[in-house]
Amino acid sequence: MENRSIFPERPSELGAIYVEAGDKITVTTIEDITFVQAANVIGAVYSSKSGSTRLRWERTLGSSGRLSGEASMRSVVRLVETGVIKEPDIHRPRREKVPSRL
């Protein structure tokens, strides 16, 4: 928790967590979670085991980035509670307009 360069990774069959970085080394593995030390982080991918949440974070400037994808309400609530995202930053998906028939 104190070292902000350490990230968890998990295989896709358990719900993927993957860090894309310029430099990455394995620190330790505990059960199904591998902890890596990453430098020059480019992005991160998370997908839940159920498939209801699929998120991708891409670095835009410094440690800031853009989070995109689809998330279950439970995941959104957890992201807001932990301060990863702020409520005003949440956007509902755009629905395409369907042409009306006369």
52 DSSP 8-state letter: S
Residue 48 located in a structural domain: yes
Placement of tokens 């593995």 in the chain: 29
* Number of folded domains that form the chain: 1
Beta-strand runs (E) in 31-78: 33-47, 54-61, 64-70
Placement of tokens 């894309």 in the chain: 20
Residue 92 located in a structural domain: no
Residue 50 located in a structural domain: yes
Give the structural domain span for 72: 6-86
pLDDT by position in tens, the chain (length 102)? 578 889 999 998 888 999 999 999 999 999 999 999 999 999 999 999 888 999 999 998 887 888 889 989 888 888 888 877 787 777 666 666 666 565
